[in-house]
Amino acid sequence: MTRFFQNSACLDSDRELVVLVIATQERRVEALTSLGRHVEALLACDDIIARCNGKGGPPDPSEHVAWALSAKAFTFAREERSEDAAKVCSEIIGRFGPSSPTPLLERAGRALVGRAAHFCDLGRYEEALSDCDTFLATYQSSAEPWISETVALALLTKGLSLLEIERSTEATDVLNKILTCFGGETEPPISDYVASARDLLRDTESE
């Protein structure tokens, strides 16, 4: 029995050490990303995921894995690697979406809209529209604080995608919805999305 408690104490100690290492790696990813050292940041993200998936991982690895995957997607986007960023977003959606064993709705929702934006960058407009519509149908009614910002981005991506496939009437309706819902916002990033919507509407009207 004494040996059992000793082994349990060692296991707890090991896990506490892993948690500290992961926290350090997360701060390292943020610092490397801000310095533009993207290759090192991606390697640090992979290290976090590997530690979480190992036998001696933290007690609740989901948040750490979701954080690392989100950081990877952001880093790929900074490098204009939209294809890679979209693939990572797909992994987040699959692992943490509403129907997953470990749902993390904010991470999955942001990844869904992020993937739509990456699809739009890649010229895959129908897929971008599908992701935007899925997000709006699944998440828009939520009262979570993060929703407004992500809804605004989803609408902007949808409007831009509709313009690219020459469905200008629908695009105009969507872009005007951004102004109606968020036109009074003064804080970024929502204010930036509003400004982009106004610019797109102005360009559409001048054609």
- pLDDT tens for 65-109 read 999 999 999 999 999 999 999 999 999 999 999 999 999 999 999
- For residue 107, how many other CB atoms are within 10 A of its CB? 22
Q: Which tens digit of pLDDT belongs to each residue from 10-48?
A: 445 677 888 888 999 999 999 999 999 999 999 999 999
Would residue 53 count as lying in a domain? yes
Report yes or no on 60 lying in a domain. Answer: yes
Determine, yes or no, domain membership for 54. Answer: yes
pLDDT digits (tens, 9 = 90+) for 118-165: 999 999 999 999 999 999 999 877 888 899 999 999 999 999 999 999
Q: What is the 3-state secondary structure (H, E, C) of the chain?
A: CHHHHHHHHHHHHHHHHHHHHHHHHHHHHHHHHHCCCHHHHHHHHHHHHHHHHCCCCCCCCHHHHHHHHHHHHHHHHHCCCHHHHHHHHHHHHHHHCCCCCCCCHHHHHHHHHHHHHHHHHCCCHHHHHHHHHHHHHHHCCCCCCCHHHHHHHHHHHHHHHHHHCCCHHHHHHHHHHHHHHHCCCCCCCHHHHHHHHHHHHHHHHHC
Residue 42 falls inside a structural domain:
yes
Give the pTM: 0.88
Say how many domains are in the chain. 1
Q: Does residue 98 sit within a domain?
A: no
Better pLDDT: 203 or 58: 203
Residue 21 lies in a domain: yes
What is the residue range of 67's domain?
13-72
Please check whether residue 44 lies inside any domain of the structure.
yes
176 occurs within a structural domain: no
